[in-house]
C-alpha cells in the first residue's frame, strides 16, 4: 500500500495534480493511515464505516448484521473524538476483538458519511435513508456529517432526498460469474432479517429502478433539504472553525441521560457550538456557551428547511448569566456562533 501511495503521488506530481489515495477499508487498522515512521502505509485518508454505522443504527433502530455492534449514542461521540469506534474491544458481530486506537490521527484522515454506494447498495432492497427514517432525521444526518471535523462524503441524491433505491446491478457476460454474484448476495444477506426476494443483479429492471430523478431537487421538502445541504456546505467553507480538519479546539460531549450531543469548535478566535438531538422525542438542554454574545446561524426545525418551525431558541444568547435551558426538537440541531466582527454572517446568508 505504501508503494502504491508513493507511485500515485509521484504520477500526480508529474501531471501537476494533487491526487489522494483513500482506502476503502473496514479493518479499523491504524497502520493504513499511520506515517511510515510509525510503521504505517501513510495513505491520505480512509472511509470510516464506524461513523456511518453509529448514525444509521441510532436513527433507524436497526440491530441486525454489523449494526448489532452499534446503537449507543456514546459511540458517535467517540467517533467524533477519535475516529474508530472499535479500537480493540470485542465485536459481537465479528466474535473477536476488532480495530486499533486512532485518537492520534487527525480527523482529516477519516472520510465520513451517512450513506454511500456500499451501505445502500449492499442492502437487499437498496433502500436509502429516506425510506428508513423521518425527514427531520435526514437533516440531522446532514448536519452531523457536514459540521464534523472530518472529510464529508455525499452519496448521489442524498442532498435532496432521492427516493429511488440504489440496487446492486452488474453487466457480466460470464454465466458462472453471474451465478456466483447472485449466490454471494444471498449469503451476505443471511446476517440480516430482511424479508422478500433480493433483486436480480443481472436484470435490467434492477438498473432502471436505481436511476435518480434530479427533478426532485425543485419539489417540496426535497428542495428544502437540497437548500439545507447547500447552506451547510457554505458555512463549512466560510466559517473558520468549521473549515479546519482538526480536533484542536473541538469538544464533543453527551448530555447525560439523553441522545443529545454538544459539539464545540474553535479556530483562530472563531467559535461555534452545535447541538444535535438523535432522539425521536424533544429534549431540554442547557447550552453552556462560553462567555459573550452568541448568534444562532442555523436551526434545522426552521420552516425554511421544511421543519415544523422554531423551538424557542433565540437569535442571540448572552452567556455568563443564569443558566437557561431550551427545547431541542426531535432529530433537530441548532448551530450558534460567537458574535464578533463577522456576526452578520447569518443575515448575509439568510440563515435561520
> Does residue 345 have a pLDDT over 70?
no
DSSP state of 58: H
Predicted pLDDT of residue 191? 78
Predicted pLDDT of residue 351? 47
> Does residue 342 have a pLDDT over 50?
no
Predicted pLDDT of residue 241? 98
Written as nine digits, the cell of 239 is 466559517
Predicted pLDDT of residue 90? 98
Query: How far from 285 is each of 100, 254, 301, CA to CA, in Å?
Result: 34, 11, 16
Q: How does residue 350 score in pLDDT terms, banded at 50, 70 and 90?
A: very low
Predicted pLDDT of residue 210? 96
For residue range 209-250, list pLDDT tens digits in order.
999 999 999 999 999 999 999 999 999 999 999 999 999 999
For residue range 321-335, list pLDDT tens digits in order.
667 889 999 999 999
> Does residue 126 have a pLDDT over 90?
yes
For residue range 246-277, list pLDDT tens digits in order.
999 999 999 999 999 999 999 999 999 999 99
CA 337 from chain centre, in angstroms, equals 21
Burial 284-294, CB ≥16 within 10 A → b, else e: ebebebeeeeb
Q: How does residue 348 score in pLDDT terms, banded at 50, 70 and 90?
A: very low
Mean pLDDT of the chain: 93
For residue range 64-120, list pLDDT tens digits in order.
999 999 999 999 999 999 999 999 999 999 999 999 999 999 999 999 999 999 999
Predicted pLDDT of residue 321? 65
Start-to-end Cα distance in the chain: 46
> Does residue 177 have a pLDDT over 70?
yes
**CA nearest to 305, candidates 264, 263, 352, 251:** 352
Q: What is the 3-state secondary structure (H, E, C) of 171-189?
A: CCCCHHHHHHHHHHHHHHH
Ordered by where they begin, the domains of the chain are 2-165 (3.20.20.80), 175-209 (no CATH), 220-349 (2.60.40.1180)
Look at 89 and 351; give whichever has higher pLDDT. 89
* Chain position carrying cell 443558566: 323
> Does residue 343 have a pLDDT over 80?
no
Mean pLDDT of the 123-132 span = 96
Predicted pLDDT of residue 322? 66
The Cα–Cα gap between 33 and 19 comes to: 16
8 Å CB contact between 70 and 54 = yes
Amino acid at each position: 500500500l505504501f508503494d502504491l501511495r508513493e507511485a500515485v503521488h509521484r504520477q500526480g506530481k508529474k501531471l501537476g495534480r494533487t491526487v489522494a489515495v483513500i482506502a476503502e477499508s473496514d479493518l479499523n487498522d491504524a497502520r493504513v493511515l499511520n506515517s511510515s515512521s510509525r510503521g504505517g502505509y501513510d495513505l491520505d485518508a480512509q472511509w470510516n464505516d464506524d461513523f456511518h454505522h453509529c448514525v444509521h443504527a441510532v436513527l433507524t433502530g436497526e440491530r441486525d448484521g454489523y449494526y448489532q455492534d452499534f446503537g449507543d449514542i456514546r459511540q458517535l461521540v467517540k467517533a467524533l473524538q477519535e475516529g474508530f469506534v472499535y479500537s480493540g474491544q470485542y465485536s459481537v458481530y465479528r466474535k473477536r476483538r476488532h480495530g486499533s486506537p486512532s485518537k492520534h490521527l487527525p480527523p482529516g484522515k477519516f472520510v465520513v458519511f451517512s450513506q454511500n454506494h456500499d451501505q445502500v447498495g449492499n442492502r437487499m432492497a437498496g433502500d436509502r435513508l429516506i425510506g428508513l427514517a423521518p425527514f427531520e432525521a435526514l437533516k440531522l444526518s446532514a448536519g452531523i456529517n457536514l459540521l464534523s471535523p472530518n472529510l464529508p462524503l455525499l452519496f448521489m441524491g442524498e442532498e435532496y432526498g432521492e427516493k429511488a433505491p440504489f440496487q446492486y446491478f452488474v453487466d457480466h457476460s460470464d454465466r458462472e460469474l453471474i451465478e456466483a454474484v447472485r449466490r454471494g448476495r444471498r449469503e451476505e444477506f443471511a446476517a440480516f432479517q430482511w424479508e422478500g426476494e433480493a433483486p436480480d443483479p443481472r436484470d435490467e429492471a434492477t438498473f432502471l429502478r436505481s436511476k435518480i430523478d434530479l427533478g426532485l431537487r425543485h419539489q417540496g421538502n426535497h428542495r428544502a433539504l437540497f437548500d439545507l445541504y447547500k447552506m451547510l456546505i457554505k458555512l463549512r467553507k466560510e466559517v473558520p472553525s468549521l473549515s479546519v480538519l482538526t480536533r484542536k479546539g473541538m469538544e464533543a460531549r453527551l448530555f447525560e441521560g439523553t441522545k443529545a450531543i454538544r459539539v464545540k469548535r474553535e479556530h483562530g478566535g472563531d467559535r461555534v457550538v452545535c447541538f444535535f438531538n438523535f432522539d425521536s422525542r424533544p429534549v431540554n438542554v442547557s447550552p453552556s456557551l462560553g462567555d459573550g454574545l452568541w448568534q444562532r446561524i442555523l436551526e434545522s426545525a426552521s420552516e425554511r428547511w421544511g421543519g415544523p418551525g422554531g423551538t424557542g431558541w433565540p437569535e442571540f444568547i448572552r452567556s455568563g448569566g443564569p443558566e437557561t435551558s431550551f427545547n431541542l426538537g426531535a432529530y433537530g440541531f441548532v448551530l450558534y456562533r460567537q458574535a464578533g466582527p463577522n456576526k452578520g454572517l447569518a443575515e448575509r446568508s439568510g440563515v435561520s
